[in-house]
Structure 1
Amino acid sequence: MSSSSCLPSVAPGDPSWWFSDALKAEKGRPDSAPLSGLIAVDVAIVGGGFTGLWTALALKERAPHLSIALIEAGRCGSGASGKNGGKVSGYWGSLAGMEANIGADGALAVARAGARAQDAIRAFATAPGRDVWWRDGASIRVSASPAQDAKIKGYVETAKRLGVPDIAHELTPEQVASYCRSPVFRGGVYLAEGATVHPARLARALRQAVIEAGISVYENTPMVGLDSGDPSRISTPAGAITAREVVLATNIELAKRPDVKAHVSVFSSFALMTEPAPDRLAAMGWDGDEGLADMRMFVHYFRKTVDGRVLMGSGSGPIAFAANTADPSLTTDTASAVRAEKGLRRLLPGLGDVGIAKIWGGGIDVSSDRLPFFRTVPGTRIHYGCGYSGHGVNPTYIGGQCLASLVLGAKDDWAGLPLCTRTLPSLPPEPFRAVGGRLVRWGIIGCEEAEERDHVAGPTMRAAAAIPKLFGLRIGTR
């Protein structure tokens, strides 16, 4: 049974279920005061999500003498970091795409950096006194239509070819059912590296760790101006910061910058959280802590929580024109919310009449090759990181280490990653980028929905879906 007609409303500015729950758990802990007046520090960080917070901790760990200030436009963790699905894994499942874009050696280097990040996040999340719902569990990709079956062997064959056969194992339908039973699940791929976490609680725990490390945190303090120099100057509504080094960790807002906009497009993703239904999960045999996803290009990603809820997300939200991050459709598109709910009912019919507690949307900074990048603006000491492409929890730790290395001028393994050094492909300019992207999105959604009905989409939809491959683009190709 579908309840699309009575989904919770999706309103601008609404927090995610995660963030509301995290604040409840803090029992009234006050926000950090906004910045007032002029301060001078060695390093100023703009953005209080995962990237900014991990960067602050990395810098303090490597160079304890540095004075550091971090500003956040809202509350730390209230943006993308507190809205995502909370599935934590690195890049072993992305080897094929990375190999095509940065070569086999580069792909393996990034995947191994992700493994280091996984260990480090686990150590932080499981430290005594931190309740961030960390649960180790594999990452499983499932085929949910005959058309998706062909993708399974690609994971396994790529891992074997690159000399890491143990990271990906093909699953039969019976083996998939041993993890979670659904009448639409077919075969799948088991990726050993995986975990789930409460992302907003993790962000708030990072905030607390940053404060305890002696770093000044100013919430409800947006950056309204940035002048590069020696030092650079950041203006805020009631104050300013001068700093020798500046780190910009502002997610989709970076897509507006001239040095970034050619390489990033602003997409969106929508997710819902069900009411608790532990008995239904038990009936489906979903007893472990695996995170799952289907094999659509506009993927459905799903995981359970420690209190018996299920999060279902759909990466099929609207595309903003000219990186307009204020476009209300990025957070309020009803059609995208309905797709997430339909994904829940189709993929997990055992939850067919379970209520929806909350639904929300948010922008995604999708890079031109689906990998993040970390750079220093030429001629300045301004550094930035973005382009996570919907794969943020694990890679933001990598981002924090890379940005710390750029700030410190370290020639280390982090700064040597392709994430810091590769030549970035460019996307088409506007209006072709957004208009073409929307056409491709329409075609792919239509093709994938038809495939799930075991039908073939019409020729116009198929032609639209084929545009990225036809023009040699590295995103949007099926």
Structure 2
Amino acid sequence: MSQSSALPSAVPGDPSWWFAEAIDAERGRPDSSHLSGSITVDVAIVGGGFTGLWTALALKERAPQLSIALIEASRCGSGASGKNGGKVSGYWGSLAGMEANIGAAGALAVARAGARAQDAIRAFATAPGRDVWWRDGASIRVSASPAQDAKIKGYVETARRLGVPDMAHELTPDEVAAYCRSPVFRGGVYLAEGATVQPARLARELRRAVIEAGVSVFENTRMVGLDAGTPSRVRTPDGEIIAREVVLATNTELAKRPEVKPHVSVFSSFALMTDAAPEKLAAMGWNRDEGLADLRMFVHYFRKTVDGRILMGSGSGPISFGGNARDPRLTTDLASAARAEKGLRRLLPGFADVGIAKIWGGGIDVSSDRLPFFRTVPGTRIHYGCGYSGHGVNPTYIGGQCLASLVLNARDDWASLPLCTRSLPSLPPEPFRAVGGRLVRWGIIGCEEAEERGERAGPAMSTAAAIPKLFGLRIGTR
């Protein structure tokens, strides 16, 4: 059902450009050893990405006496944390959707938590001795077709109505061009909160920080089983961790757990990194550090790097069946990789002749209302966090704080957020979820590509794209 038969100019594969660059920058710093034998700790954390690492750091800051062990199936930062676009912003740009799902008060509480997270990530990233390419800048959403124009006012009007008018400003075409010139950019919206970072470098610095804080980190150590109890037991191929508290921070892998499965679907996103061409960035007038995205539903997200490259991503990858996080199409789909490259050439034609250094793909844990959730499995001391829905780096800090509060039984501002307390809508069961999701994806991609050509999509595509709205779903609705 792909709308594109073109092939990308590079074959997608691991590792991401980010992770390869970060490991090279470490200049031979060794991996942590894998776990062998049995250890007993207060807290076991499964997952060495942003969520697990922020949780470990938060626990050590709040309760330094705790003994903590963290395991990672591969290398810390090699998964979703080292594959994303590296755009850092909270939830001010998501107010309208959040208001519809959790009410105005809940939406503002989550957005303000994101602002706290932004400040905290900045403080960590810019501390002496950490070179993670942090660059402060706003976030810009641009219209790239007449059909996208109408979405601009929604951002501005929602922010004004909820009493935070400074968080979103409408941009004229000339004002958009002052940030980055492109013949297809129209108007836009300026979202005041934003930054960019080298995400894999950030993950590796978090790894270093938690080790220095006294956390035992075991890489190349996957969990093969979990026995809930008092205490619980995390089993690995060559050992086990016995712990009073367990935190599961394994991203899309959580989608198969029974308490998560009704509320999460596994989508995917593909990104590319160009060769360096700083002179072409200058010719486009892209001289500042704002990250950009268009106003598609299956969004193109893009930002520049400190060495003059462009990352372009497309959130239009395949949907797995039954939440299968290991479906190879999530990382190898050529049509999705081609859409990322097509987005680069269309949106930023000044880079039309610049080579592609790397393309990669990865799974996204999309929740039923597009917000993450943090919970404790009833009757246990096993905690989990997932459902980030491709939003990026900022919410993982919130996740770390929320999970730390759950571990510590703290009744604080983090634990009282809607991210920890709201009722979660359920998605349709399989096979309707995957089959229907793929049909909707086909329809939306077709409609958005037709709109960019100035055409009207056919009735089959339009009907498929309208299915989520017809059934009252909170995701996939245009």
* TM-score normalised according to structure 2 size: 0.99
Residue aligning to 2:10: 8
**Percent same amino acid at aligned positions?**
85
What's the offset of the Cα at 1:5? 4.8
C-alpha offsets along residues 261-301 of structure 1, whole Å, 9 cap, x if unaligned?
00000000000000001000000000000000000000000
Partner letter of residue 17 of structure 2?
W
Partner letter of residue 125 of structure 1?
A
Partner letter of residue 9 of structure 2?
L
Residue aligning to 2:77: 77
Residue aligning to 1:452: 452
Q: Work out the CA distance in 2 between the residues paired with 1:330 and 1:5.
A: 16
Residue aligning to 2:408: 408
- Written as runs of structure 1 = structure 2, the 5 A alignment for 1:332-343 is 332-343=332-343
Give the direction of change, closer, same or farther, for the CA distance of 1:313–1:229 in structure 2 (3 Å limit): same
Partner letter of residue 8 of structure 1?
A
Residue aligning to 1:45: 45
Q: Work out the CA distance in 1 between the residues paired with 2:323 and 2:180.
A: 39
Q: Work out the CA distance in 1 between the residues paired with 2:49 and 2:420.
A: 20
Residue aligning to 2:3: none
2:154 is the alignment partner of 1:154: yes
Give the direction of change, closer, same or farther, for the CA distance of 1:114–1:205 in structure 2 (3 Å limit): same
Residue aligning to 2:285: 285
Residue aligning to 1:127: 127
Residue aligning to 2:269: 269
SS in 2 for 1:388: coil
Partner letter of residue 352 of structure 1?
A
- Written as runs of structure 1 = structure 2, the 5 A alignment for 1:85-100 is 85-100=85-100
Q: Work out the CA distance in 1 between the residues paired with 2:20 and 2:409.
A: 39
SS in 2 for 1:455: coil
- Written as runs of structure 1 = structure 2, the 5 A alignment for 1:425-440 is 425-440=425-440
Q: Work out the CA distance in 2 between the residues paired with 1:29 and 1:126.
A: 21
Partner letter of residue 87 of structure 1?
K
Partner letter of residue 188 of structure 2?
G
Partner letter of residue 38 of structure 2?
L
Q: Work out the CA distance in 1 between the residues paired with 2:89 and 2:314.
A: 18
Q: Work out the CA distance in 1 between the residues paired with 2:238 and 2:8.
A: 43
Give the length in aligned residue pairs: 475
Superposition RMSD on alpha carbons, in Å? 1.0
Give the direction of change, closer, same or farther, for the CA distance of 1:365–1:6 in structure 2 (3 Å limit): closer
Q: Work out the CA distance in 2 between the residues paired with 1:30 and 1:126.
A: 24
C-alpha offsets along residues 407-440 of structure 1, whole Å, 9 cap, x if unaligned?
0000000000000000000000000000000000
Partner letter of residue 278 of structure 1?
P
Partner letter of residue 344 of structure 1?
L
SS in 2 for 1:149: helix
8 Å Cα contact 2:47/2:248 also seen in 1: yes
Q: Work out the CA distance in 2 between the residues paired with 1:260 and 1:208.
A: 30
C-alpha offsets along residues 92-150 of structure 1, whole Å, 9 cap, x if unaligned?
00000000000000000000000000000000000000000000001000000000000
Q: Is there any run of 5+ residues in structure 1 with no aligned partner, and where?
A: none
Residue aligning to 1:110: 110
Q: Work out the CA distance in 1 between the residues paired with 2:279 and 2:7.
A: 25
Q: Work out the CA distance in 2 between the residues paired with 1:223 and 1:391.
A: 26
Q: Work out the CA distance in 2 between the residues paired with 1:180 and 1:6.
A: 25
Residue aligning to 1:194: 194
SS in 1 for 2:269: strand
SS in 1 for 2:183: coil
Q: Work out the CA distance in 2 between the residues paired with 1:247 and 1:31.
A: 22
What's the offset of the Cα at 1:6? 6.0
SS in 2 for 1:241: strand
Which structure 1 residue ranges, 4+ long, deviate > 3 Å from structure 2? none
* TM-score normalised according to structure 1 size: 0.99
What's the offset of the Cα at 1:392? 2.6
Q: Work out the CA distance in 1 between the residues paired with 2:180 and 2:8.
A: 27
- Written as runs of structure 1 = structure 2, the 5 A alignment for 1:284-433 is 284-433=284-433
2:234 is the alignment partner of 1:223: no
Residue aligning to 2:68: 68
Q: Work out the CA distance in 2 between the residues paired with 1:53 and 1:395.
A: 13
SS in 2 for 1:262: helix
Q: Is there any run of 5+ residues in structure 2 with no aligned partner, and where?
A: 1-5
Q: Work out the CA distance in 2 between the residues paired with 1:87 and 1:27.
A: 25
Q: Work out the CA distance in 1 between the residues paired with 2:210 and 2:288.
A: 32
What's the offset of the Cα at 1:326? 1.4
What's the offset of the Cα at 1:155? 0.2
